[in-house]
C-alpha cells in the first residue's frame, strides 16, 4: 500500500458517468439492432495488436499517434488498435476458412494520441460494419441503406449521404493530366471545395504546382451540375477516353439504381465528386454522412477497399464497409434533446423502501418479485426516515416508490407512489408489478 | 504502404469469431439484465489509467504484469487497467457529488501480462457490480442475491456461494496468536484446506514458522462443523475475547438472515472460514462462487472493501461488490451445451435470395420489409444459381430462405423455405414476415 494518490485521468481520457452511459447505451443499442437486422455478425478483436500489423496502413501521421504497449523485456512490439478495419483485414487473412461473403460488425474503442479537444478524445468508440468477399455493388448500396436506417431510427431528419467513387477520382486526375505524384494534393484540395469555394481551390491547386491548364479542365468538370443521373451521363461523354472513370461511373449508376429500389428518399443522398475522404485504402464507391441541420458535419463514412486484405494475405478479397462515430452523434442528440423520454436519467424504475428493521424481510421479498417481473428495482439500504428514501428516488429520477409497513403487511398490500404523477395507490401485493407496468406514463426499458 | 505482413496475434491475445461472440453476447446480456434489474447503473472508465492510480493496490506481482502504455516523449506514465475496482475507487474520489449509495456495474476488458494458458488470456472481460457509500449488510446480501440470480438464469444448478468475513479471519489470527507479519502466510495456508487437507495445512503452517501450539488452536477452530448458524454461535463463545471476531460473526449472521428472507435455497450457500480470497483490500464479508458439478472451481467472487477509496480521497466510503469471470462461464456452458437453442450459430434468421439481375429490385424491397418487421435478414449479393444461395444459408445456419422469381412477383407472392423443417410455403407477400415468425420452431432473437 502506498500513500494517498490524487485521483486523476490521463490526458485525453474520460469517464462516462451513468447518466451519459444510459444515452450511449441507447445509441449503441439502436446501431447494434440495425447491424443485426441486416444480418451482420458480431466479431471481437483484441485491443492490443502487433505493431507490424498496424504500421504503414493509415498514412504518415498515424504511427506517431499509436499507443506503444510493448512489455518490458518482451520480444513483441505491440500497439493499441487504431481502427477496426485493419484488425478485420488481419482476421480475414488469418482465418481463410471463414465463409464468404463474411459480414461482420464490431463496436469497440480505438486509441489515437491526437491533441485532445472539445468532443475529441484519445479513446473513442467506432461502430463498424463490413462485408468481405463480394465485389457486388449490392453490398455498397447496403452500406448506404444501413446508414439511412441508423440515422432515421436515431431520429435524424436532415442528413445527406454524399457518394463518390475512388475510380472516378483517379479518372478525373488522368483527364486533367495531373502527374501521379501530385494526385494526393489534388484530392486534398478538391475535398475543401465546400469550405473554400472554387477560387480557393484554384489558389490551392496553383500552390501545389498544378498547371493552370489542368486547373481549368478540372474546375470545368467539378462545375457540372444537375440531377445525379444527368451528371453521370454527361461525364460518361467527357471522360470516354478514361476506362477507370467509366468503371467508376458504372459503379455509381448501379448503386443509385439500388437506392431507388430501396425507396430511400432522393433528398437523403447525392453524388459529390468533391467528397474525397482520407483516401488511404479505398478503391471503389466511397461515402460520407453529413448532418445538415444542425450543421455538425460528418458523422461517419466508409467505402470499398478491395486491396487492404491483400496486404496480409496472398489472396486479396474485395470488401466494403462503413463506420459511425458515435461520440458526435451522442453529443448532438443530447444538445437537441433527441432521446426518447423512456431513456431517462436512471435505469431504475422502482425503489423499494425499508419501513424499519422489523420489516426488512418484507421489503427484500418485494424487490425479488418486482425484479422477476422484469422491473428494474432499487432497494434502499439504510434505516432512514421515509422522507429521505423518497428524496433519494426523486434525486435519482426513479419514477415509482413502493412502501410496505406493518399495516400493509397485515393486509397483504403495498402502497405504490408514482412520483412523476404525484399519485399513490394501495393495492394487493399480487398486482403490485402489473399496477406499476400499466400505470400511465410508466417508462418501458 | 509496406510489404506483406504475416497475419499474427500478440501472445496471449485472441480474436472471438462470430459463433463464439454470439454465445458471449448471450452471457453478457443475461448478466447485464440482472445488474439492471437490481438497479445498478452503467459506468465506463478508460482502458488507459495513470500508472500511479494502479500501482500498489493489487499486491506484489501485479505491477510487473501491467501493460505500460506511456507515450514516447509523453510526460505521463500510463498503464492498461488491471481490474475495474481500482478505477471505480478513483471515480468515487474524483466526483464527490455522485449521490450515495452509488450503484454501478461495468463490463469491460482488463489486461494482465500473465503466462497464457488454456482458457487464460492477457485480455479478458470482468463483469463487476458494486455499491459505494453504504455499510449496510443488506448490500452484501444483495451481492449474493445477484450471484444467485445470474447463475440460476444462466442455467447453473449445482453451485455454491462460499461466505466468510475478513474480520473473522483477523479475529482467528488474534485468537491463535499468529504474529501480524505471519498472517499472510497463515491465510494462504488456510485457503488450501480443501485441496491439501488438514495435515497438509498443518505441514504448511509449520513450514511458515507458525508454532505448533498456534497450529493446534487454529485447526481446532477450523474443524468446528454443523449448521452455519450453530457454527457461528459456537465461535461467538470461543472468540468472545476478540471484538473484531465478534463483529465478523454479527455481520455473517445478518447476511445469513437476509439470504433466508430472500428465499435463496439453503444448499446454494455456506459459511466457510477456510475461504480467504486474495486478501488485498477486503475488510468485511467476502464470497466466492464455486461450480461443483462439473467441478470447475471458482467463477467469481467479491467482498466488502471499506478502505480502498480512502487511498484516493480524504474521505473514505464503505463499499462492497462482486465480479464475474465470464471466460470460464462461457467455456463451461459451451462444453455442457447449456445455451438455449435460440442462441444458434448466426444472428441471421432469414436469407433473401436473388433470382436474377432483373429481379434484384424485388429482393431488395423484401429485405427491407423483413428487417422492419424485426427479422434479422441477410441478402445474397452474387448472381449465383439458387442452389448455391441455399447452400450458403445451410452452411451459415440460417433457418429461412425467401425466394422471389418472376412468377411470384406477378402473383404478388413469395416462397418461404424452412431449412430446418425442410418445408416450403408460397404465401402472399403481405403475410411473409408473419408466416416466418409464426412458423413452428422459428428462433426468437
Q: Which residues of B touch A38 (CB under 8 A)?
A: 371, 376-379
Q: How far apart are CA A210 and CA A203, in angstroms?
A: 10
Q: How far apart are CA B124 and CA B329, in angstroms?
A: 12
Q: Tell me which CATH code domain A18-335 carries.
A: 3.30.930.10
Among B15, B93, B376, the residue with its CB nearest the CB of A91 is B15
Torsion sign, CA atoms B185, B188, B192, B193: positive
Alpha-carbon distance values, A191 to A207, A283, A304 (Å): 15, 17, 18
Q: How far apart are CA B424 and CA B421, in angstroms?
A: 9
Residue A44 distance to chain B (closest CA, Å): 5
Cβ contact, residue pair B262, A375, below 8 Å: no
Torsion sign, CA atoms B239, B240, B241, B242: positive
Between A211 and A128, residue with greater pLDDT: A128
On the question of pLDDT at A140 being above 50, the answer is yes
The sheet with strand B413-418 has its strands ordered as: B377-379, B350-352, B400-403, B413-418, B423-428
Among B16, B50, B101, the residue with its CB nearest the CB of A44 is B16
Q: Domain B350-438 - what CATH class?
A: alpha beta
Among B17, B43, B70, the residue with its CB nearest the CB of A21 is B43
- What integer pLDDT is reported at residue B1 of this predicted model? 42
| Total residue length of chain B | 445
- What integer pLDDT is reported at residue B3 of this predicted model? 57
pLDDT in tens, B34-73: 999 999 999 999 999 999 999 888 877 788 889 998 877 7
B174, B254 Cβ separation under 8 angstroms: no
Q: Least CA distance to A138: which residue of chain B?
A: B381
Residue A197 distance to chain B (closest CA, Å): 32
Residue B100 distance to chain A (closest CA, Å): 9
Among A8, A48, A141, the residue with its CB nearest the CB of B13 is A48
Mean per-residue pLDDT over chain B, rounded = 91
Q: Which residue, among B288, B291, B303, B293, has the nearest Cα to B328 in the 3D structure?
A: B291
Q: How far apart are CA B381 and CA B365, in angstroms?
A: 14
Cβ contact, residue pair A445, B36, below 8 Å: yes
Residue A51 distance to chain B (closest CA, Å): 9
- What integer pLDDT is reported at residue B2 of this predicted model? 47
For chain B, which ranges sit under pLDDT 50?
A: 1-2
**Range(s) for CATH 3.40.50.800 in chain A?**
350-438
Q: How far apart are CA B77 and CA B183, in angstroms?
A: 34
Cβ contact, residue pair A1, B40, below 8 Å: no
Q: Is the peptide bond before B294 cis (omega within 30 degrees of 0)?
A: yes
Q: Least CA distance to B17: which residue of chain A?
A: A43
Question: Which of A174-211 are b and which e, b meaning 16 or more Cβ less than 10 Å from the residue's Cβ?
Answer: bbbebeeebbebbbebbbebeeeeeeebbebbeeeebe
B43, A119 Cβ separation under 8 angstroms: no
Q: Least CA distance to A47: which residue of chain B?
A: B123
Q: How far apart are CA B108 and CA B324, in angstroms?
A: 11
C-alpha cell at A73: 523485456
Q: Which residues of B touch A51 (CB under 8 A)?
A: none
Cβ contact, residue pair A48, B10, below 8 Å: yes
**Range(s) for CATH 3.30.930.10 in chain B?**
18-335
| Beta-strand runs (E) in A145-272 | 159-165, 269-271
Q: How far apart are CA B138 and CA A367, in angstroms?
A: 12
C-alpha cell at A245: 472513370
Q: How far apart are CA B132 and CA B251, in angstroms?
A: 18
On the question of pLDDT at A73 being above 80, the answer is no
- What integer pLDDT is reported at residue B13 of this predicted model? 96
Instruction: Choose from B40, B46, B58, B253 for mutation: most chain A CBs within 10 A.
Output: B46
Q: Least CA distance to B66: which residue of chain A?
A: A71
Range B239-242 contact pairs with CB under 8 angstroms and sequence separation of 24 or more? B239/B171, B239/B172, B239/B175, B241/B175, B242/B171, B242/B174, B242/B175
Q: How far apart are CA B139 and CA B306, in angstroms?
A: 13
- 0.90 exceeded by pTM: yes
- CA B69 from chain center: how many Å? 26
Three state DSSP letters for A259-323: HHHCCCCHHHEEECCCCCCCCCCCCCEEEEEEECCCCCEEEEEEEECCCCHHHCCCCCCCEEEEE
Q: How far apart are CA B296 and CA A282, in angstroms?
A: 48
Residue B243 distance to chain A (closest CA, Å): 24
Q: Which residues contact B175 (CB under 8 A, 6 or more apart)?
A: B217, B221, B238, B239, B241, B242, B245
Q: How far apart are CA A323 and CA A277, in angstroms?
A: 13
B151, B333 Cβ separation under 8 angstroms: no
Mean per-residue pLDDT over chain A, rounded = 91
Kindly indicate the confidence band of residue A285, based on its pLDDT and cuts at 50, 70 and 90: very high
Lowest mean pLDDT among A138-142, A199-203, A303-307: A199-203
Residue A248 distance to chain B (closest CA, Å): 19
Cβ contact, residue pair B39, A95, below 8 Å: no
Q: How far apart are CA A288 and CA A301, in angstroms?
A: 4
Alpha-carbon distance values, B294 to A118, B289, B298 (Å): 52, 13, 12
pLDDT in tens, A381-436: 998 999 999 999 999 999 999 999 999 999 999 999 999 999 999 999 999 999 99
- What integer pLDDT is reported at residue B74 of this predicted model? 79
On the question of pLDDT at A2 being above 50, the answer is no
Q: How far apart are CA A287 and CA A266, in angstroms?
A: 15
Which helix (H) or strand (E) segment holds residue B105: the answer is strand B102-111
Q: Which residue, among A268, A88, A244, has the nearest Cα to A167 in the 3D structure?
A: A244
Residue B189 distance to chain A (closest CA, Å): 22
Among A7, A16, A378, the residue with its CB nearest the CB of B93 is A7
pLDDT in tens, A324-373: 989 889 988 998 899 998 898 999 999 999 999 999 999 999 999 999 99
Q: How far apart are CA A272 and CA A249, in angstroms?
A: 12
Q: Which residues contact B442 (CB under 8 A, 6 or more apart)?
A: B349, B399, B400, B436
If DSSP codes are grouped into helix, strand and coil, which group holds residue A117? strand
Q: What does DSSP assign to residue B16?
A: B
Q: Which residues of B touch A376 (CB under 8 A)?
A: 36-39
Among B2, B47, B57, the residue with its CB nearest the CB of A47 is B47
Q: Which residues of B touch A47 (CB under 8 A)?
A: 47, 80, 109, 111, 123
Cβ contact, residue pair B53, A5, below 8 Å: yes
Between A70 and A55, residue with greater pLDDT: A55
Q: Which residue, among B18, B320, B291, has the nearest Cα to B150 in the 3D structure?
A: B291
The sheet with strand A423-428 has its strands ordered as: A377-379, A350-352, A400-403, A413-418, A423-428
Instruction: Choose from B40, B69, B153, B384 for mutation: most chain A CBs within 10 A.
Output: B69
Cell numbers 504546382 correspond to A209
Q: Least CA distance to B86: which residue of chain A?
A: A7
Above pLDDT 70, what percent of chain A?
98
User: In A38-110, where does DSSP find H-type helix?
Assistant: 51-54, 62-65, 85-94
pLDDT in tens, A227-284: 899 999 999 999 999 999 999 999 999 999 999 999 999 999 999 888 887 656 899 9
On the question of pLDDT at A108 being above 50, the answer is yes
pLDDT in tens, A144-199: 999 999 999 999 988 999 999 999 988 988 888 887 677 777 777 877 877 888 88
- In this prediction, residues A97-121 reach a mean pLDDT of 91
B285, B251 Cβ separation under 8 angstroms: yes
- In this prediction, residues A54-80 reach a mean pLDDT of 85
Amino acid at each position: 500500500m502506498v500513500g494517498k494518490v490524487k485521483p486523476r485521468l490521463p490526458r485525453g481520457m474520460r469517464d462516462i458517468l451513468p447518466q451519459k452511459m444510459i444515452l450511449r447505451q441507447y445509441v449503441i443499442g439502436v446501431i447494434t439492432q440495425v447491424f443485426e437486422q441486416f444480418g451482420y455478425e458480431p466479431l471481437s478483436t483484441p485491443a492490443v495488436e502487433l505493431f507490424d500489423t498496424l504500421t504503414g496502413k493509415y498514412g504518415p501521421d498515424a504511427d506517431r499517434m499509436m499507443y506503444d504497449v510493448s512489455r518490458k523485456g518482451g520480444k513483441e512490439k505491440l500497439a493499441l488498435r487504431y481502427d477496426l478495419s485493419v484488425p478485420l483485414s488481419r482476421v480475414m487473412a488469418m482465418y481463410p476458412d471463414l465463409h464468404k461473403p463474411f459480414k461482420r460488425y464490431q463496436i469497440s474503442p480505438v486509441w489515437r494520441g491526437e491533441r485532445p479537444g472539445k468532443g475529441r478524445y484519445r479513446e473513442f468508440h467506432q461502430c463498424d460494419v463490413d462485408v468481405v468477399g463480394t465485389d457486388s455493388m449490392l453490398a455498397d448500396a447496403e452500406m448506404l441503406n444501413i446508414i439511412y436506417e441508423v440515422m432515421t431510427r436515431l431520429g435524424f431528419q436532415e442528413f445527406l449521404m454524399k457518394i463518390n467513387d475512388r475510380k472516378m477520382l483517379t479518372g478525373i486526375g488522368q483527364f486533367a493530366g495531373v502527374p501521379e505524384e501530385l494526385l494526393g494534393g489534388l484530392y486534398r484540395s478538391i475535398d475543401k471545395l465546400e469550405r473554400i469555394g472554387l477560387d480557393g481551390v484554384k489558389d490551392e491547386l496553383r500552390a501545389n504546382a498544378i498547371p493552370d491548364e489542368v486547373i481549368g479542365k478540372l474546375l470545368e468538370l467539378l462545375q457540372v451540375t444537375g440531377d445525379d443521373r444527368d451528371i453521370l451521363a454527361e461525364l460518361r461523354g467527357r471522360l470516354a477516353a478514361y476506362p477507370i472513370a467509366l468503371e467508376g461511373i458504372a459503379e455509381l449508376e448501379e448503386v443509385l439504381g439500388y437506392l431507388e429500389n430501396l425507396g430511400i428518399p432522393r433528398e437523403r443522398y447525392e453524388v459529390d465528386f468533391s467528397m474525397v475522404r482520407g483516401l488511404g485504402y479505398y478503391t471503389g464507391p466511397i461515402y460520407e454522412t453529413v448532418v445538415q441541420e444542425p450543421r455538425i458535419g460528418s458523422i461517419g463514412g466508409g467505402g470499398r477497399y478491395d486491396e487492404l486484405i491483400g496486404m496480409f494475405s496472398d489472396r486479396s478479397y474485395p470488401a466494403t464497409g462503413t463506420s459511425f462515430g458515435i461520440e458526435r452523434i451522442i453529443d448532438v442528440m443530447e444538445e437537441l434533446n433527441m432521446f426518447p423520454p423512456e431513456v431517462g436519467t436512471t435505469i431504475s424504475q422502482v425503489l423499494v423502501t425499508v419501513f424499519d428493521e422489523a420489516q426488512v424481510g418484507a421489503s427484500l421479498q418485494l424487490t425479488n418479485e418486482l425484479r422477476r417481473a422484469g422491473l428494474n428495482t432499487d432497494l434502499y439500504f439504510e434505516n432512514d426516515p421515509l422522507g429521505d428514501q423518497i428524496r433519494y428516488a426523486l434525486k435519482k429520477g426513479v419514477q415509482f416508490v413502493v412502501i410496505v409497513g406493518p399495516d400493509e403487511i397485515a393486509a397483504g398490500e403495498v402502497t405504490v407512489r408514482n412520483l412523476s404523477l404525484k399519485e399513490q395507490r394501495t393495492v394487493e401485493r399480487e398486482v403490485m408489478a402489473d399496477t406499476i407496468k400499466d400505470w400511465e406514463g410508466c417508462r418501458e426499458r
